[in-house]
Amino acid sequence: MTTIIIKRRVPSQNQMHYGHWSVYTKERDLWFVLLRQQLRPCSPVNKPVRIALRSYRTRLLDYANLVGGAKPIPDCLIRLGYLKDDSPDWFRCVYEQFKVSKAEERTEIEFLPWDGLL
């Protein structure tokens, strides 16, 4: 399976969604550039996709803030053609986070085999 590493941590949902709408737009556009550097755009897939999203960060978030903060990633994967849709029929994601030093902060996205399970 393919794993990509982005040298940026997933933001907290609180940072992104409770401010001006432009905060989310800027964050989404930044993630698009970072993902585009490692993933070539392709024709949209017509099969379900499952990923593991691992956030390595200095301070752990509560689960809802991690998932909400990661929302730009599936949105960008749709734009790049790696996801058909982010509905449960087409997309499943396992979200994990690990405490690390500032120098080790990153996000890993691993594409996993679809098994129909969450």
Residue 117's pLDDT is what?
Answer: 56
Residue 118: pLDDT over 60: no
Whether 117 maps to a domain, the answer reads: no
Average pLDDT for residues 95-112, to the nearest whole number?
97
104-113 residue pLDDT tens: 999 999 999 8
Whether 62 maps to a domain, the answer reads: yes
- How far from chain centre, in Å, is Cα 4? 11
Whether 65 maps to a domain, the answer reads: yes
Q: Domain residues for 23? A: 3-112
Residue 69: pLDDT over 70: yes
Q: What CATH number did the domain enclosing 101 receive?
A: 3.30.1330.70
12-43 residue pLDDT tens: 888 766 767 788 888 899 999 999 999 999 99
Whether 118 maps to a domain, the answer reads: no
Domain count along the chain: 1
Distance CA 57, CA 74 (A): 20
Whether 30 maps to a domain, the answer reads: yes
Residue 84: pLDDT over 90: yes
Residue 95 pairs in a beta bridge with: 53
| CB contact at 8 A, 55 and 98 | yes
pTM of the model: 0.88
Residue 76's pLDDT is what?
Answer: 96
